[in-house]
Amino acid sequence: MDMSVTFGDEAVAAEASVAVRKLVEEGVPQALSNGDPTLWGPEAEAEARVRLGWLDLPTTSRALLPELVKLVERARAEGLEHVVLAGMGGSSLAPEVICATADVPLTVLDTTDPGQVRRALADRLDQTIVVVSSKSGTTVETDSHRRIYEKAFRDAGIDPAGRIVVVTDPGSPLERLAIESGYTVILSDPNVGGRYSALTAFGLVPSALAGADVGQLLDQAAEVRPLLGQDDGNPGLDLGAALGAAALAGRDKLVLDDSLSGINGFPDWAEQLIAESTGKQGKGILPVVGSDPTDADDEIVVGVDTEAAVQVDGPLGAQFLVWEYATAIAGRLLGINPFDQPNVAESKENTARILREAGDGPLPTGTPTLVDGPVEVHGDLPEHVKDLPGVFTALLEDIPDRGYLAILAFLDREAAFDVPVPQDASFELITDIWAAHDPASLQGLLAIRTERPVTFGWGPRYLHSTGQYHKGGPQNGVFLHLTGAVQNDLQVPGRPYTLGRLELAQALGDLDALRKRGRPAVRLHLTDREAGVRHLLSAAREV
Ligand SMILES: O=P(O)(O)OC[C@H]1O[C@H](O)[C@H](O)[C@@H](O)[C@@H]1O
């Protein structure tokens, strides 16, 4: 088996081995492998009873393969080359990493940004097949994408029934709707939670349609599965013990480094698994993705196929299973229920309330505290702050010991790639131009100004991932939300709002939840998106 967990740091190894010994004495590795729901205490038991199905997926998901072969053959025969996936959190992050790793194209819609959705709609609608993936069948973003694509197909004279494939849990409202609409429905295993669903239909259906070899993923997972019952040479146990022991010792910022890995985008998937599973009751592990280690004493670096304090090597299918097992182990060590997400609903409810109360009127954005060029600043700031560099400085100074800054961008994730580049530009020049227009560049620019971790998330995608940790985990985060004016909005058919209005209401809803906890939270609103991003980045360079 080519899956292994090794330690590049002796102190981390020693600490992990103490935790392993304790877990082995308690019979945990075997019990978890057998699906024992009592491992997280009596309060978690009822939920754990219906959340451990992921342990069996390397075998049970095989049953899906013949159905997937047929679906793929039909799509190919009909020339449906453009695969769009509408899904949030666990329902999109696994297919995203599977397809990026297999180097097959998949358009992922886990956004409410109208520009990003319009770009997908404008791309080969006549050859598009849309996978609508939602376990609950009620997620507002995914429901909006379905409505928008149904209308777009109808407007183009295309019958949506031939173009929409639904993946959901048995009995969900989406299953009912799909049956009534004549859509292809593939049901998932209801005993697996969203973030553990990589090897269910949620991970496999869109990936197979996009052209990935999903049978191989199951083979890789099946190969590592027997090791998960062992006391020795159990990579899930070793990783979980290392993560849990480090967090208990105060090293609860998990820097994920995949710089040498052939697996593309794994940290984004691991982030939602770990943040949503552990970030609750004031405890948790904060994944830090896309930032260099800072050597702070509350940090542990884990490498995916990359040298680090803890190094996790192996193929993607095995990595999924090992990280899921490890998260369940870390959850036990931390004393939390790794299968619920008690605080995700808060921001959602705030958003629904904001939309309802606003009716047809403007959303309650308030008046800006100050305006700097194309950027409005909303939020409480010290009086001496007069411009954007001052805002950044104030936020960085506000990060408490052991705290972090989270940048949360409710913007178009792909807009930077639309910026025209000179025809003869070198690859370096092109990436420089992109970086100069990419809001995500703010992470690196602010990270070098502080010893504390700086994370970056796209909204509303992070609400289904680190959003749980921000609200339920240790209360030491400082938050910077980015929103932007919408040029060409998109109505959500059958709903009294546009995507742009929903996107802004989602940002406001999350801000309400964070401010209610007394967390410092500032919103920067770009009145002109492109100029605003450039202005933000140049202000960050001046800090
Ligand atoms: O698949 P869905 O029911 O649409 O849920 C999508 C996501 O929604 C919530 O945010 C959950 O906390 C996530 O774990 C889940 O992956």
What are the tens digits of pLDDT across the range 443-474?
999 999 999 999 999 999 999 999 999 999 99
The half-sphere exposure of 334 on its side-chain side, counting CA atoms within 13 A, is 31
Q: Over the range 338-352, which residues count as b (16 or more CB within 10 Å of their CB) and which as e?
A: bbbbebbebbbebbe
The pLDDT of residue 45 is 98
202 Cα nearest atom in ligand 1: 1
- Domain holding 368, by residue range, is 344-542
Same domain, 135 and 209: yes
Q: Are 231 and 33 in contact (CB under 8 A)?
A: no
Q: Is residue 48 part of a domain?
A: no
Same domain, 357 and 324: no
Helix axes 235-248, 10-25, angle to 10 degrees: 110
The pLDDT of residue 2 is 87
Final residue belonging to a domain, choices 167, 185, 218: 218
Same domain, 89 and 160: yes
Q: Is residue 46 part of a domain?
A: no
Ligand 1, atom 7, residue with closest C-alpha: 89
Final residue belonging to a domain, choices 182, 197, 218: 218
Same domain, 208 and 295: no
- Choice from 146, 337, 461, 464 to test ligand 1 binding pocket (greatest atom count within 8 A of CB): 464
Q: Separation of 332 CA from ligand 1 center, angstroms?
A: 22
Query: What sign has the CA pseudo-torsion 379, 383, 386, 390?
Result: negative
Q: Separation of 339 CA from ligand 1 center, angstroms?
A: 12
Note if the bond before 439 is cis, omega within 30 degrees.
no
Q: Separation of 143 CA from ligand 1 center, angstroms?
A: 12
Q: Separation of 509 CA from ligand 1 center, angstroms?
A: 17
* β 128-134/82-86 pair status: parallel
Q: Are 88 and 142 in contact (CB under 8 A)?
A: yes
Among 192, 346, 199, 334, residue whose Cα is nearest residue 274: 334
The string of DSSP codes covering 320-376 is: HHHHHHHHHHHHHHHTS-TT--TTHHHHHHHHHHHHHHHTTS-------SEEETTEE
For residue 387, what are the CA distances in angstroms to 297, 350, 408, 437?
33, 30, 20, 20
- Here the CATH number for the domain that contains residue 243 is 3.40.50.10490
For 143, the token pair is: 């429901």
Distance from the Cα of residue 405 to its chain's centroid: 17
- Choice from 54, 136, 280 to test ligand 1 binding pocket (greatest atom count within 8 A of CB): 136
Ligand 1, atom 8, residue with closest C-alpha: 464
The string of DSSP codes covering 199-257 is: TSHHHHHHHHHHT--HHHHHHHHHHHGGGGG-SSS-HHHHHHHHHHHHHHTT--EEEEE
pTM across the whole model: 0.98
- DSSP letter at 448 equals T
Ligand 1, atom 9, residue with closest C-alpha: 464
| Pocket-forming residues, ligand 1, beta carbon under 6 Å | 88-91, 134-136, 139, 142, 194-195, 276, 341, 344, 464
Ligand 1, atom 12, residue with closest C-alpha: 464
463 Cα nearest atom in ligand 1: 10
Q: Separation of 134 CA from ligand 1 center, angstroms?
A: 7
Same domain, 208 and 282: no
Q: 313 pairs with which residues across the strands? A: 4
How many helices and strands in the chain, by DSSP H and E?
21, 16
Q: Is residue 240 part of a domain?
A: yes
Q: Is residue 42 part of a domain?
A: no
The pLDDT of residue 425 is 93
Same domain, 415 and 438: yes
348 Cα nearest atom in ligand 1: 10
Which ipTM score applies to this complex? 0.98
Final residue belonging to a domain, choices 300, 334, 368: 334
Give me the chain's average pLDDT, please: 97
- Here the CATH number for the domain that contains residue 513 is 3.40.50
Same domain, 353 and 330: no
Three-state secondary structure string covering 63-79: HHHHHHHHHHHHHHHCC
90 Cα nearest atom in ligand 1: 16
- Choice from 91, 93, 339 to test ligand 1 binding pocket (greatest atom count within 8 A of CB): 91
The pLDDT of residue 84 is 99
Q: Is residue 469 part of a domain?
A: yes
The pLDDT of residue 242 is 98
Q: Separation of 98 CA from ligand 1 center, angstroms?
A: 18
Ligand 1, atom 11, residue with closest C-alpha: 464
The pLDDT of residue 120 is 98
Same domain, 354 and 295: no
194 Cα nearest atom in ligand 1: 16
- Choice from 187, 344, 469 to test ligand 1 binding pocket (greatest atom count within 8 A of CB): 344
Same domain, 235 and 212: no
Same domain, 238 and 375: no
Q: Separation of 327 CA from ligand 1 center, angstroms?
A: 17
Q: Is residue 484 part of a domain?
A: yes
Q: Is residue 163 part of a domain?
A: yes
Report, as ranges of residue numbers, the positions in the chain whose pLDDT lies below 50.
none
For residue 257, what are the CA distances in angstroms to 127, 150, 270, 301, 376?
37, 40, 11, 7, 34
What are the tens digits of pLDDT across the range 485-530?
999 999 999 999 999 999 999 999 999 999 999 999 999 999 999 9
The pLDDT of residue 287 is 98
Q: Separation of 271 CA from ligand 1 center, angstroms?
A: 14
Structural domain tally of the chain? 3
Same domain, 67 and 178: yes
E strand map for 87-197: 107-109, 128-134, 164-168, 184-187
Same domain, 400 and 508: yes
